[in-house]
Amino acid sequence: MAKKNEIIVKITCVIAAFVLWLYISNTENPSMDYVIKNVPVTLVNDDRLKESDLALLPNQDLTVSLSVKGTLAEVYSSKKDQFSVVADLSYYALKKGENKIPVILKTSPNNIQILNKDNLYVTLYLDDVVEKTVPVKVSLSTKVKDGFEDFSAVAKPDSVVVSGAATYVDKVSYAEASVKLDSFTYDLNKKVTLTAKEVNGESISDEYVTIKPSNVDVSVPINIVKTAKVNIKTTGELGNNLNLVSITSDPAEVKYAFNVSNSVNITEIDTEPIDLSKVKTNNAVLKVKLKSLNNIHFVGSDGTVTVTIKADSLLSKKISIPISVINDSGYTYNTVITSKEITLQGFESVINKINKDNVKLVLDMSKAKGEGEQTIPCTLENLPDGVTAPNQDELNIKVNLTKK
């Protein structure tokens, strides 16, 4: 019960205080001092800045606080937009940096006294107006449709003039024309608004600098991409001591592109001719240019391929070859050997494939000259092309014959 009575007393006090305030406000209406903050200052004759080659730096607080006096009702009903405060720049010598400019109260509500109207100032921070020429860079934000490519975007003009406060103009590295491609399959031509950019790619607002012209014409040729086989062209021949084993290209295929306005269908692209007579090693690796063709350019390539030429050297090798006897029906013979080591000469890749199973030494008894000990020349069978037995004496076999 006591707590309830306490709450009733508090509510009664609040109501009584409010009624008393209404009475005083409407009956007595006493005078009071009050500060109205953040009243905006209007700059007049600001063309003086341009005449002085100066610029107003952005993001400044161009407001003042007004100390006012009036009745309680009038003070509380006054608003910031009922006051007109101006700073006339035509009366003062302006300079780079900080400028403290007196402001003038033009209008204010009736019956409101401005206590500090003769002591109002606004601080302006000014900078030199400069200009410079910067390049235009085109930024393509998305990819074109598969099987196509964007190539060599061009902006006209390719440079523009940036002007404004030196603090911001000095930061500008280039002007960017940002173009969005959305599955384009045809040449793109459009007018693009420029954005000032710092060297790190950060944007500088057009509130701080002016770009002239502010727009450029951007053209983006759209090309069709295809694939062609690399065809290695050669002239001449390898030297006498070398034999060509293989010649390959890396990559074996290249991509090329041409504008959609052209009709091109290339299945092979030739290299510039390679003179084999100048190859002196078994494993030559050469960087070779691809033949240039009208109306195309290479994609992902500098127009060259790596050609590897593998060759054999001429060598001699002794191989044990089994002896095969034929036409021996009229004689009996005795020989102590069943195979013989023969020196073969040829290129390495061929020589290394020869063994006793694919080559034989044939002893033909029909070449015998009667009975007795004698030497019969043999022949090599199944010898690969290009392989020879330079030492003919090695092909002779001594035998002792008797008639059956």
**Among 395, 396, 383, 379, which residue's Cα sits nearest to residue 345?**
383
4-22 b/e with 16+ CB inside 10 Å = b?
eeeeeeeeeeeeeeeeeee
* pLDDT on residue 155: 92
Tell me: pLDDT of 228 over 60: yes
Reply yes or no on whether the pLDDT at 264 is more than 90.
no
Please give the average per-residue pLDDT across 150-159, as a whole number: 83
Q: Is residue 14 part of a domain?
A: yes
Span 65-107, pLDDT tens digits: 999 998 888 888 888 999 999 999 998 999 999 999 999 999 9
Query: Can you give the length of the chain in residues?
Result: 404
Stretch 10-39: mean pLDDT: 68
| Total number of domains constituting the chain | 4
- The parent domain of residue 21 ranges over 2-119
Residues 244 and 261 both lie in one domain: yes
Global model pTM greater than 0.85: no
Shared domain for 214 and 236, answered yes or no, is: no
Say if residue 75 is in the same domain as residue 27: yes
> 15 and 105: one domain?
yes
- Residue at which a domain ends, from 292, 313, 334: 313
Any idea what DSSP says for residue 385? T
